[in-house]
Amino acid sequence: MKIIVAIDGFSSCGKSTMAKELATYAGYTYVDTGAMYRAVALFCLRNGWMTENAIDETQLQAHIHELTVGFQLRPDGGQDTMLNGENVEALIRTLEVGNGASRVSTIGFVRRELVRQQQIMGRRKGIVMDGRDIGTVVFPDAELKLFVTARPEVRAQRRYQELLGKGEQITFDEVLANVKERDYRDTHRAESPLRQAEDAILFDNSDLTRAEQMEKLKRIFDEAVGRCQH
Ligand code: DC
């Protein structure tokens, strides 16, 4: 029997790594909902509907139904985000599009449309979906819900290493301030703020290695599937 796994949590806490590895273990489909918000941001930027100060919500609302976001498996096991059939994976991973995604994700009609598409993807179950509102809004009846977190300093350290690796000139304190700012924005927005669903398992991975994290995750998943079979 297949279940739905909803993984929510703060930014830079390793959610997508966990979700991807779990999907591989379970033989399930992995859906990165952050990529969907990023694709909407790209759509807006390309059409000139997003400037530094404003988003043309009238235009976006008039055209949002023309947009379909999907995923395509790569031979290396990874997956690419597809916007109306075009591979936009590399284009949506920039800082500009990330910031745009954070802005479009506060718009109610954008969330409603993406949630609708996400619910269709989960119809046949066998899915691991990661985001901010999966266990609370998209699949409130998911058989397994995880709320992933790690101490801000630990998340900032991981992000700092990642950025240094990309050659960015940045200090640890700047990264930590950014992590805290994003936490505040994610948990305080009016539309679907990030919060732990009552029936979600809190998963703090601050002091776990990747291997330990995966062991724990597999155990939780196997138990959830076992419970559903009874
Ligand atoms: O996880 P990410 O950085 O790719 O997400 C991009 C943005 O989209 C981020 O600002 C949070 C937002 N988001 C959201 O509001 N709801 C989701 N289900 C997933 C992402």
Q: Is the CB of 159 under 6 A from ligand 1?
A: no
User: Does 1 score more than 90 pLDDT?
Assistant: no
pLDDT at 181: 87
pLDDT at 230: 77
Beta strands in 58-176 (DSSP E): 69-73, 79-83, 86-87, 127-131, 144-149
Confidence of residue 67 (pLDDT cuts 50, 70, 90): very high
pTM above 0.85, yes or no: yes
Confidence of residue 201 (pLDDT cuts 50, 70, 90): very high
User: Does 182 score more than 90 pLDDT?
Assistant: no
Question: What residue owns the CA closest to ligand 1's atom 16?
Answer: 132
Between 65 and 186, residue with greater pLDDT: 65
Q: Is the CB of 10 under 6 A from ligand 1?
A: no
pLDDT digit string, tens, across residues 110-122 = 999 999 999 999 9
Q: Is the CB of 38 under 6 A from ligand 1?
A: yes
How far apart, in whole angstroms, are the C-alpha atoms of residue 117 and residue 129? Answer: 12
Q: Is the CB of 29 under 6 A from ligand 1?
A: no
- Amino acid present at 142: A
Q: Is the CB of 34 under 6 A from ligand 1?
A: yes
Question: What residue owns the CA closest to ligand 1's atom 6?
Answer: 34
Q: Long-range pairs for 96-103 at CB < 8 Å and ≥24 separation?
A: 96/45, 97/38, 97/41, 97/42, 97/45, 98/38, 100/38, 100/41, 100/42, 100/44, 100/45, 100/50, 101/34, 101/37, 101/38, 101/40, 101/41, 102/37, 102/182, 102/185, 103/41, 103/50, 103/55
pLDDT digit string, tens, across residues 18-44 = 999 999 999 999 999 999 999 999 999
Question: What residue owns the CA closest to ligand 1's atom 1?
Answer: 34
User: Does 2 score more than 80 pLDDT?
Assistant: yes
User: Does 98 score more than 90 pLDDT?
Assistant: no
How far apart, in whole angstroms, are the C-alpha atoms of residue 112 and residue 81? Answer: 19
Q: Ligand 1 centroid vs 212 CA: distance in angstroms?
A: 26
pLDDT digit string, tens, across residues 122-134 = 999 999 999 999 9
pLDDT digit string, tens, across residues 122-166 = 999 999 999 999 999 999 999 999 999 999 999 999 989 988 888
pLDDT digit string, tens, across residues 188-200 = 989 889 999 999 9
Phi-psi map region of 133: left, alpha, beta (phi>0 left; psi -120 to 50 alpha)? alpha
**Pairing mode of beta strands 144-149, 4-9:** parallel
Question: What residue owns the CA closest to ligand 1's atom 13?
Answer: 34
How far apart, in whole angstroms, are the C-alpha atoms of residue 186 and residue 106? Answer: 9
Q: Which of 37, 50, 71 to mutate to test the pocket of ligand 1 (most atoms within 8 A of CB)?
A: 37
Q: Name the residue among 113, 109, 93 with its Cα closest to residue 101.
A: 93
